[in-house]
Amino acid sequence: MSILRLEGVRREIGTFVILDGISAALALGERVGLVGPNGAGKTTLLRIAAGLEEPDHGRVTRKRSLSLGMLAQEAHLDERFMAAPDLRTAVRHGAAPLEAMAVELEAMEHAGQVADPAYADLQHRFEALGGYSLDQRVDETLSGLGFPAGDLDRAPASLSGGEQTRAALAGLVIAAPDLLLLDEPTNHLDLGALEWLEEHLRRRSGSLIVASHDRAFLDATVSRVWELRERRLAVFRGDYSAYHRQREERDALAAKSAETHEQRIARERELVQTYRSHRKITKMHEHEARLERLEASRPDIPRTSRRLRLPGQALAGGGPVRSGEIVVRLDDLVVGYLGEASAAAPAPVAASAPIEVARAPFLYANRGERIGIVGPNGAGKTTLLRTIAGELPPLDGSLSFGNGVQLGYLAQLRAAAIPGAPVIDALLETIPVTPGEARGYLARFLFRGDDVFKEVRRLSGGERSRLELALLGVMPANVYLLDEPTNHLDIVAREAIEAFLAETPATILVVSHDRRFLDTICERLWVVDDGLVVPFDGGYRAWREAIAGGWTVRDAAARESARLRTSAGARHAPAHPAARHVAPAAPASSAPTNGRGSTRPAAKAEPRQRLSKDAYRRQRETIDAELTRLGLRKNHLELEMANPAVQSNFIELRRVTSELADVEAALATAEDAWLALAERAP
């Protein structure tokens, strides 16, 4: 039985047609995924289904007494929700019928009507609908969607926009409507909340239509897919993976059919010309009629959607240099916010009170590795990435970069204005190229024609993300620091980024909640949770399986600490196991290197006296501090050299180049000192 039916629905805005001839039906208990590129009309279709918009043509039929709830991408919360004294009460309002029944039961009790049959009937219905467990379900839902216990007493007005959207979702879960309409519900959820929501949607008996670009989420929650493509709707059976296979098969079959049809048209044209040249008029007219029928019956092949095409090299020209074996090393690094940097912190911070967010006992990234940074919201993933990028200073510990590291950083929070009013000016102010070169480059990121003259402040979330990606690729980089790079991008654009990152030789550190993206790209993980950052040797699925088997961040940190202590006691081992990657000891038959590829005359090996623990610790701290200082200075100088203003100023360029050469020489000396000290470890 259908609870929702769309018949010939058409929606227009001015002269632009968004939806045309949409017909579909939704059965009781059916779970549907709504997919399509950004701008295809998914949100419009959901609003029409919910009755928030009316179609210009066609009809929408809903089952009588159908209860319906919708979550928009940006929640527009009602006054009652915002006026609630605390978050728990606001979410509890989602079960308004149960609250009304509770008030009625209380009134009947005060009136002494507990013996009335009406009271017994109302109490039975209240119990059957879960009224007595309502408060427990509210707390479980808020906890599952990532709200800590301390947030439950906060006023809804004090929450961020993303938190308010999650709270609105919690209210819909509690309301349990017959039909639930969700528009990008995963935008503000971390991995734990995503898995909780998936499990809830699988268990619920009501119907569901969810618009999402999260492929793993769609695979876990839907049994049918509605695809919006060129203003029309096509229906596919199965989850997203099944839809993707069917869509590729249909497109391949349609392309083959179109090719065959064009071949028949070309053949008929040849025959018409042949019979005309031989003056066989009757035959010529016969084939002209056949040609006319073939041209009139050309198959209606959907145009291939525009695809994001990331360039193989930077717009500035030339590829990145080859970095050292160890790209970045974190040794007992503490990340957080200083008092003077309080503007960057999530909340105001006293000037004398640095806020420690997370500590990384020991992490490193080798050249070419693809590492995913995962953990719950608020654990410190973005803070860690911003510290590595140089936006935040370390609170303590050591952060150092290998030789030749060129950073490319894509931030998650992009509220700061991009220079330039139109899109093309934003690019031209970043790098001096011709307008033609700029337009050709922007076309790869789907800014074509008049799109390049759109004002940056009026771009949609997806368009803004594509522009940020374009600006990221202006300068060469061999290390990409990416914070939620797939936010607001449709599935086609996500797949384009995955293909680019899978092929690039660059090192990648990426924060993401897109599980399909993590599975496709990342070989191992850095897990941020409980105030710690620890490595995990394996991808996303292996990590979730390990968690199910009892793996915790605390236990992993304790095991790593024990392993480091053991390796530090070895005679020829460096102070930590990855330090051997900084500059491997050369075989006896080869010349040793200075860590940058040049060779030095081999020195006669002499036994070195081992140091005491205190002397070793003091010398190691001194060298670590020097490596950190020189590494950061080298990285900043390289960024200065990539600045067009420096490149156009000969005097400034000469100064930066000279200082960079001095820093590189000092860095090589410090690395040699590190290796020499390692051989004298106690």
- For residues 310 and 118, the model is more confident at 118
Q: Residue range 156-172: average pLDDT? A: 86
| pLDDT > 60? residue 13 | yes
Residue 576 has pLDDT above 60, yes or no: no
Q: Tell me what pLDDT residue 240 has.
A: 93
* pLDDT at 449 > cutoff 90: no
Give residue 187's pLDDT band: very low, low, confident or very high (50, 70, 90). Answer: confident
- CA distance between the termini of the chain: 77
Give the Cβ contact number of residue 390 at 10 Å. Answer: 16
Q: What is the C-alpha separation between 335 and 657, in angstroms, rounded?
A: 31
Residue 23 reports pLDDT greater than 90: yes
Q: Which amino acid would we find at residue 536?
A: F
Tell me which residue of 580, 553, 551 sits closest to 360, measured CA to CA: 553
Q: Which of 147-156, 247-256, 513-522, 620-629 is modeled with the greatest confidence?
A: 513-522
Residue 593's pLDDT band (cuts 50, 70, 90): very low
Compute the C-alpha angle 577/582/585, nearest 5°: 85
Predicted local confidence at residue 468, as pLDDT? 82
Residue-by-residue DSSP string for 400-424: EE-TT--EEEE-S---SPPSSSBHH
Share of the chain above pLDDT 90, in %: 28
Q: What is the pLDDT of residue 618?
A: 77
pLDDT of amino acid 565 = 67
Q: Which of 101-110, 235-244, 572-581 has the highest mean pLDDT?
A: 235-244
∠ CA 509-514-517, rounded to 5°: 65
Range 242-257 average pLDDT: 88
In this prediction, residue 7 carries a pLDDT of 94
The answer to whether residue 49 scores a pLDDT higher than 70 is yes
Look at residue 302 in the predicted model and tell me its pLDDT.
58
In this predicted model, which residue has the larger pLDDT, 590 or 155?
Answer: 155
CA separation for the pair 586, 584 (Å, rounded): 6
What span, in angstroms and rounded, lies between the C-alpha atoms of 206 and 317? 55
pLDDT band of residue 31 (cuts 50, 70, 90) is: very high
Q: How far apart are CA 364 and CA 324, in angstroms?
A: 12
User: What DSSP string describes 596-634?
Assistant: SS-B-PPPPP---PPPPHHHHHHHHHHHHHHHHHHHHHH
**In one letter, which amino acid is 187?**
N
| Confidence label for 592 from pLDDT (cuts 50, 70 and 90) | very low
pLDDT at position 602 is 38
Share of the chain above pLDDT 70, in %: 86
The arithmetic mean of pLDDT across residues 524-542, rounded, is 93
Least confident of 36-50, 51-65, 422-436: 422-436
Report the C-alpha gap between 187 and 545 in whole angstroms: 24
Query: What pLDDT score was predicted for residue 304?
Result: 54
Q: Which residues pair with 180 in a beta bridge?
A: 69, 208
Q: What is the pLDDT confidence band of residue 179, given thresholds at 50, 70 and 90? A: very high
Reduced to 3 DSSP states, what percent helix, strand and coil does the chain have, rounded to the nearest 5? 45, 20, 35
CA distance 280 to 60: 58
pLDDT of 237 over the 90 cut: yes
pLDDT tens digits, one per residue of 82-133: 888 889 898 988 888 888 888 888 888 888 888 888 888 988 988 888 888 8
If you average pLDDT over every residue of the chain, what do you get? 82
Which tokens in the block code for residue 142? 């808020």
Q: 593 or 319: which carries more pLDDT confidence?
A: 319
Q: Is residue 234 scored above 50 in pLDDT?
A: yes
Summarised one tens digit per residue, pLDDT across range 323-351 is 888 899 999 999 998 765 444 455 444 44
Distance CA 179, CA 67 (A): 6
CA pair distance 394, 391, nearest whole angstrom: 10
pLDDT of residue 669: 84
Question: pLDDT tens digit string along 406-420?
Answer: 888 888 755 445 656
672: amino acid identity, one letter: D
Q: Binning pLDDT at 50, 70 and 90, where does residue 15 land?
A: confident
Q: Beta strand 232-237 with 524-529: parallel, antiparallel or unpaired?
A: unpaired
Quickly list DSSP for 243-306: HHHHHHHHHHHHHHHHHHHHHHHHHHHHHHHHHHHTT-HHHHHHHHHHHHHHHHT---PPPPPP
pLDDT band at 181 (very low <50, low <70, confident <90, very high): very high
- Average pLDDT of the residues in 641-662: 74
pLDDT at 349: 45
pLDDT in tens, 368-396: 999 999 998 888 999 999 999 988 899 99
pLDDT value at residue 318:
65
Output the CA angle 449-459-194, nearest 5 degrees: 125
Cα separation of 550 and 623, whole Å?
38
pLDDT of residue 417: 52
Distance CA 321, CA 367 (A): 12
Residues 307-327 as b/e (b if ≥16 CB within 10 A, e otherwise) read ebebeeebbbeeebeebbbbb
- For 274-287, what is the mean pLDDT? 88
Residue type at 542 in one-letter notation? A
Residue 594, token pair as written in the block: 């200075």
- CA-to-CA distance for 258 and 251, rounded, in angstroms? 10
Please say whether the dihedral angle defined by the alpha carbons of residues 350, 351, 356 and 357, taken in this order, is positive or negative: positive
pTM above threshold 0.85: no
Residue of higher predicted confidence among 566 and 458? 458
Give me the residues paired with residue 431 across strands.
none
Q: 301 pLDDT exceeds 80? A: no
